[in-house]
Amino acid sequence: MNTPLRRVGLAMLAMIILLLANATYIQIIKADEYRTDPRNRRVLYEEYSRERGKILVRDKNNQMQVVATVNPTNDRLRFLRVYNNAPTWAPVTGYYSIRYGAGGLERAEDEILNGSDDRLFVRRLSDLITGRDPRGGNIELTINPAAQTAAYAAMEKAGYAGSVVALNPKTGEILAMVSTPSYDTNGLSAHDPEAQEQAWQTFNNDKRKPMLNRAISETYAPGSTFKLVVAAAALADGKNKDTQVTSADKIAVGGSELRNYNRGFCAGAPNGVTMETALSLSCNTAFAQLASELGNDKLRDQAAKFGLGEEDLTIPMSVEQSCIGPRASCMDVVDRNALFQTGIGQRDVRLTPLQNAQIVAAIANGGERMKPQLVKSILAPDLSEISHLDEDSLGRAMSRDTATQLRDMMITSESKTGGEGKRDGLTIASKTGTAEAGLDPKNTPPFAWYVAFAPAEDPKVAVAVVVESQDVAATGGKLSAAIGRATMNAALGGA
Amino acid sequence: MASPVQGAVGPATGQNSAGGDKAAPTRRGTELVLLGFAAFVVSAALMLVEANQEQQLTFRIVWYGLAFLGLFTIAHVAVRRFAPYADPLILPCVALLNGIGLVFIYRIDLAQAEKDLRAGHEISNDVPRQIMWTAVALLLFLAVLIVIKDHRTLTKYNYTFGFAGLFLLALPAFLPSFIAPTINGAKIWLKVGPLSLQPGEFAKILLLVFFAAFLVSKRDLFMTAGRRLLGVDLPRARDLGPIVFAWAVSLGVLVFQKDLGTSLLFYATILVMLYVATERGVWVVLGVGLFIGGAVIAYHLFTHVQQRVANWFDPLATYGAQGGGYQIAQALFGLGTGGVAGTGLGAGRPDLVPLSNTDFIAAAIGEELGFIGLAALLMVYTVLALRGMRSALAVRDTFGKLLGGGLSFALIMQVFVVVGGVTKLIPMTGITAPFLSYGGSSLLANYVLVALLLRISDAARRPQTGNRPRPAQQAPIAEAHTVMVERPT
């Protein structure tokens, strides 16, 4: 009986060897495939339980302020994402939720923040050897906290829905990026799944769309602020700020008429005005006529030089495309009649607030457009610097001379614009705009724009403000200028 | 071999206590040292879990550690007293497996507790119950060692065991579902108050004993050749009885209780015992043929069998389907995440795999201890079963050989079925991992199994009257003492 017993013994060994061979196949050869399967939540949990990096800003005293950090917890996820003054920063930081993923910078820079980026590799390795839990890298923002806070406070205090974007025209650094109404990102990072779900539902069911980052993900008709683009194209076409343009009270466009805002002649002069006057008084007929004369190609080229039509701009969040035509043919005005309306920033023209800020920033920077960027530096967990922002020129949008003439016209424009926040000793160059919105513009409150830069002699900040106003009679000057000026004052370190 | 009991084995009494016989070392000291080592490994594992899960060491760890040590010290003393010549490796292997099982059940408790806490459910810990079951199982182990002083006495009750086994096996299928509910698709449980039992686990042991005794008594009959066909001696038709019986019972279990695992285990073990008893490979061929036939029939008749096979071919493809590959896929994700070295005890997410403390405990081990840990545990099983097999080879009576061989094989078969199922080597059939998985019935039955193995190994190593040279303990199986067997003509 022992021979068959021995054979059974061998069979038993063979069974174990089969199990071992199969386990080798599963756990070594196929391991990566299983580990990285999107349905395997372990990787996600692992990542979520790592000490995520901080999001930081540097204030005017060169002190680091914490925008987003983590607090240790006693539950399985170990760390809770916490945002300071969350609504102020929501459009910058985005959110970080176990259930709903990440948004904004949290998503765009996830690899740095969660520590899996290759640039953190050496430190990860040393963490492994020293037995410390791997930690994420930190991100320092280009944002000027004073400007961000001032812009958000001004928007929120007035109860406006809209956006403020401020840029450093020389470097492209984003100094402020505000979107209102905003939301509390802490609600989405809560570890309690029910609280998380409730916050998500509340934000998503809110008709005012608090989670929409209006600065980069929403486009608005730019209205009269688009006259800067038309003027730039006209100047490039051989005109100057003193060139006479029409001052007609109305021009026929197709079957209807296009009128000035005040329904009369531009500057009350029936026989033409200078382009400077037309811009500073924002006369519609002059720029509709100019656009028509320039034609689709010249207008499109100028708009493209300012960045319209760019599809893949990332700051590092991706930015919605801005267009002069319908979405399907973004950079083509549909027909000649549409060209008139395009000249005054209506019809199909749609800009993100960031795009409009880029236009004034390019004018402020002597015609050169800098790539807008939000990340100033990437820091290791111990705050040593790993990489620093590279200023990146996106090319010349206009000649230096054109930029200077536009600046001068905008200084005149600012002098004709009312509203609070003007300050002695600070020259601002600006343009306002009141864009008709919706299908029934007469009864729909307009978008009130204000784009500006300061100081005009040596620009340090360029700003674009858009307010989705509640009032049918609102204009850019009344609503947005005060907020734009407050933002610039804060960015320049003043009151 | 003329008589089923060869050689004069002295009456097995408790007189030979430890150290009593210098000529034949009992090796109980080795056992105690190895038990201490097992306790050390288990305590270290528990500490790792605590460190990784709670970040502080609570008093509970001491309680669990002491309970573990205490239980196995009692078992050791019992072996010293009642089976002094028993194999010294078997009990430490069992202790290690049981201990690691407890650690993992505790570890999964912690994960579940957190989930329950969040969901607002009441926390239900399994580990205190499993410790209770371990204690009860050790009592049963003790009882078996004390009551069964000589395994051959079991042959006297073979038909009683056979009927009892069949009765227990069939019981849940015929009871109304308030006593025998269908859990996870299988109708194999009995629920009496707070207790739930799987009578099939006990039936397994009883039927093994019955078959061993039955085959030994009728052995000569089965070895009578029928017609010769193509150079193979075919068994006579009427001798096909036992294998047909086993086949029918297995299919019955499959049909009425939808328990693939037990069905497979039961059938394979009977087949192996038939082969060992008759020494004729033709039974294996015949048995495998019948198995394939049965499998094909089952596949075509039962959708749940088809589902299991589909899940086996590609669990990721049937991931979202009802009764689909979700569970196996989760196990594979865990195993893949664990990789070679594992995530570390207490640092993985084994709770993502459903049933991770019972049928899928191998996935939890593979995730947290990695391939290394899983391989190590498979090795412990191997040592345990091969020591059992070694005792079967060394024991001098045919019943002991057959029973020892059957029990050892049943152990490995069970491991093969469950670990193979979890790691996608074979279709998942739903069976517990011996000593590791949470579950009282399985634990009790497997302790009885081990008690019987120890009893057989004690008989194998107990010095005979006269000065028979003791077989070298470290010798591999191939060099072990061999019993000459005459082949009847």
**Is the separation of the CB atoms in B435 and B97 below 8 Å?**
yes
- Give residue A372's pLDDT band: very low, low, confident or very high (50, 70, 90): very high
Tell me what pLDDT residue B11 has.
41
Residue type, A3: T
Alpha-carbon gap: A112 to the closest alpha carbon of chain B (Å): 22
Alpha-carbon distance of B444 to B360, in angstroms, equals 19
**Between vectors from CA A65 to CA A64 and to CA A66, what angle results, nearest 5°?**
120
Which of B335, B366, B386 lies at the smallest CB-CB distance from A9? B386
Domain spans, chain B? 28-462
Residue A82's DSSP bridge partners are A69
Alpha-carbon distance of B449 to B458, in angstroms, equals 14
Q: Structure tokens of A69? A: 């950090």
Which of B279, B336, B348 lies at the smallest CB-CB distance from A31? B336
Lowest-confidence pick of A82-91, A389-398, B79-88, B226-235: B226-235
Tell me what pLDDT residue B6 has.
40
Helix (H, G, I), strand (E, B) or coil at B317: coil
Q: Do B332 and A12 touch (CB under 8 A)?
A: no
Inter-chain CB pairs, A–B, below 8 Å: 151
Phi and psi at A380, nearest 5°, equal -70, 170
Residues in chain B: 489
Residue type, B425: L
- Nearest residue on chain B to A19, alpha-carbon basis: B420
Q: What is the CA radius of gyration of chain A?
A: 28
Cβ-Cβ contacts under 8 Å for A369 (sequence gap 6 or more): A305, A306, A307, A358, A361, A362, A393, A394, A395, A396, A397
Residue A462's DSSP bridge partners are A167, A453
**Is the separation of the CB atoms in A477 and A483 below 8 Å?**
no
Alpha-carbon gap: B449 to the closest alpha carbon of chain A (Å): 17
What digits encode the pLDDT tens for the residues A249-308? 888 887 777 888 777 888 888 888 898 888 888 888 888 888 888 888 898 999 999 999
Q: Do B371 and A12 touch (CB under 8 A)?
A: no
Alpha-carbon distance of B405 to B399, in angstroms, equals 10
Q: Which residues of A touch B370 (CB under 8 A)?
A: 27
Q: Examine the pLDDT at A206 and tell me if it is beyond 80.
A: yes
Report the run of H or E that residue A64 belongs to, with start and end: strand A64-72
Would you call A6 an interface residue with chain B, using a CB distance cutoff of 8 Å? Answer: yes
Would you call A16 an interface residue with chain B, using a CB distance cutoff of 8 Å? Answer: yes
Question: What are chain A's domains?
Answer: 221-351 (3.40.710.10)
Alpha-carbon distance of B130 to B440, in angstroms, equals 7
Report the run of H or E that residue B235 belongs to, with start and end: strand B232-235
- Kindly give the confidence (pLDDT) of every residue in chain B, 489 residues in length, as a single tens digit, with 9 standing for 90 and above: 334 434 333 344 444 444 444 457 888 889 999 998 998 899 889 888 887 776 566 777 777 777 788 889 889 999 999 999 999 999 999 999 999 999 999 888 888 877 776 666 677 778 888 888 999 999 999 999 999 999 899 888 888 888 888 888 888 877 777 777 777 677 777 877 777 788 888 888 998 898 898 888 877 766 665 556 555 566 666 666 766 777 787 777 766 777 788 888 888 998 898 889 888 888 888 888 888 988 898 888 888 888 888 888 888 888 877 777 888 899 999 999 888 888 888 888 888 888 888 889 999 999 999 999 999 999 999 999 999 999 999 998 999 999 999 999 999 999 999 999 999 999 888 788 999 999 889 999 999 999 999 999 999 988 875 455 555 455 555 555 666 666 665
Tell me what pLDDT residue A31 has.
87
Alpha-carbon gap: B370 to the closest alpha carbon of chain A (Å): 8
Taking chain A, what is the end-to-end CA distance rounded to the nearest angstrom?
100
Alpha-carbon distance of A452 to A360, in angstroms, equals 6
Q: Which residues of A touch B316 (CB under 8 A)?
A: 37, 39
- Nearest residue on chain A to B481, alpha-carbon basis: A2
Residue type, B117: L
Helix (H, G, I), strand (E, B) or coil at A111: helix
Tell me what pLDDT residue B128 has.
83
Report H helices in B18-59. 28-54
Helix (H, G, I), strand (E, B) or coil at B438: coil
Q: Is B159 exposed, middle or buried (0-12, 13-18, 19+ CB in 10 A)?
A: exposed
β-bridge pairing A55-58 and A138-141: parallel
Residues of A involved in catalysis? 224
Alpha-carbon distance of B394 to B402, in angstroms, equals 12
Q: Is A325 exposed, middle or buried (0-12, 13-18, 19+ CB in 10 A)?
A: buried
Would you call B54 an interface residue with chain A, using a CB distance cutoff of 8 Å? Answer: no
Alpha-carbon distance of B350 to B343, in angstroms, equals 10
Phi and psi at A433, nearest 5°, equal -160, 145
Q: Which residue has the tokens 């730039």?
A: A232
Q: Is B95 exposed, middle or buried (0-12, 13-18, 19+ CB in 10 A)?
A: buried
Mean pLDDT of A60-72: 88
Phi and psi at A180, nearest 5°, equal -130, 150
**Is the separation of the CB atoms in B186 and B259 below 8 Å?**
yes
Cβ-Cβ contacts under 8 Å for A465 (sequence gap 6 or more): A151, A162, A163, A164, A353, A449, A450, A451, A480, A481, A483, A484, A487
Selected residue with higher pLDDT from A413 and A45: A413
Q: Do A19 and B398 touch (CB under 8 A)?
A: no
Q: Structure tokens of A352? A: 């993100």
Taking CA atoms, A168 is separated from A83, A172, A310, A365, B194, in Å, by: 25, 5, 20, 9, 72
Would you call B382 an interface residue with chain A, using a CB distance cutoff of 8 Å? Answer: yes
Would you call B393 an interface residue with chain A, using a CB distance cutoff of 8 Å? Answer: yes
Cβ-Cβ contacts under 8 Å for A252 (sequence gap 6 or more): A258
Q: Which of B219, B284, B335 to mutate to test the interface with A (most CBs of A within 10 A)?
A: B335
Alpha-carbon distance of B437 to B362, in angstroms, equals 9
Q: Examine the pLDDT at A37 and tell me if it is beyond 70.
A: yes
| Residue B75: how many other CB atoms lie within 10 Å | 25
**What is the sign of the dihedral through the CA atoms of B145, B147, B152 and B155?**
negative
Alpha-carbon distance of A402 to B231, in angstroms, equals 106
Determine the angle formed by the axes of helices A353-364 and A227-236, rounding to 10 degrees: 40
**Is the separation of the CB atoms in B436 and B419 below 8 Å?**
no
Secondary structure letter of residue B471 according to DSSP: P
Strands (E), A135-274: 138-141, 161-167, 174-180, 244-245, 250-253, 256-259, 273-274
Would you call B384 an interface residue with chain A, using a CB distance cutoff of 8 Å? Answer: no
Tell me what pLDDT residue B15 has.
41
**Is the separation of the CB atoms in A167 and A177 below 8 Å?**
no
Centroid of chain to Cα B144: 16
Alpha-carbon distance of B331 to A321, in angstroms, equals 45
**Is the separation of the CB atoms in B426 and B417 below 8 Å?**
yes
**Is the separation of the CB atoms in B40 and B70 below 8 Å?**
no
**Is the separation of the CB atoms in A2 and B277 below 8 Å?**
no
Whole-complex ipTM: 0.87
| Residue B22: how many other CB atoms lie within 10 Å | 6
Q: Do A76 and B114 touch (CB under 8 A)?
A: yes
Q: Do A8 and B409 touch (CB under 8 A)?
A: yes
Cβ-Cβ contacts under 8 Å for B351 (sequence gap 6 or more): B108, B111, B112, B115
Lowest-confidence pick of A13-17, A99-103, A173-177, A426-430: A99-103
Q: Structure tokens of B276? A: 């060992």
**Is the separation of the CB atoms in A438 and A424 below 8 Å?**
no
Cβ-Cβ contacts under 8 Å for B158 (sequence gap 6 or more): B209, B210, B213, B214, B217
Cis peptide before A91 (omega within 30 of 0): no
Residue type, A126: S
Q: Do B371 and A23 touch (CB under 8 A)?
A: yes
Helix (H, G, I), strand (E, B) or coil at B78: helix
Alpha-carbon distance of A299 to A342, in angstroms, equals 9
What digits encode the pLDDT tens for the residues A38-56? 788 887 777 777 788 999 9
Helix (H, G, I), strand (E, B) or coil at A252: strand
Alpha-carbon distance of B69 to B47, in angstroms, equals 15
The residues in B 305-324 lying below 8 A from A, measured between CB atoms, are 316, 319
Residue B197's DSSP bridge partners are B190
**Is the separation of the CB atoms in B448 and B205 below 8 Å?**
yes
